[in-house]
Amino acid sequence: MKRIMIVDDEENIRLLYKEELEEEGFVVELAKNGHEALEKLPLFRPDLITLDIKMPGMDGIETLKRIRETERDLPVVMCSAYGEYKQDFTTWASDAYVVKCADLTELKNTIRRLLGL
């Protein structure tokens, strides 16, 4: 079973993603900010991370940089309510970018694609 870590400062988003991704058969771990994500990374050893961009303190972009210091090949999906970020990530260190919405179809399809499922 593939392991996914969800990083988002909003609890309702974390719980929505967890419920929906567990229904898809994934093992899910949650982190409420970048610091917690970096702490849990070596313990949980995810196959993929979804990373919110807008978070207080260390934002998703800084968190991504820190993740990439040790995990060069780990698939990372950046998530944001703000579609304008999309361009910035075409040359960036993330593997995909998904605009947040209540329907998680695009996110799930992106996750399956990156995991080769």
Give contact residues for Mg ion (rule: CB under 5 A). Answer: 9, 52, 54-55
CB of 7 to Mg ion, least distance (A): 9
Q: Which residue lies nearer to Mg ion by CB, 55 or 77?
A: 55
CB of 59 to Mg ion, least distance (A): 9
Q: Which residue lies nearer to Mg ion by CB, 54 or 112?
A: 54
- DSSP designation for 91: T
48 Cβ neighbours under 8 A, 6+ residues apart: 2, 3, 4, 5, 74, 75, 76, 77, 111, 114, 115
Q: Which residue lies nearer to Mg ion by CB, 45 or 88?
A: 88
**Tokens 């593997």 sit on residue:** 95
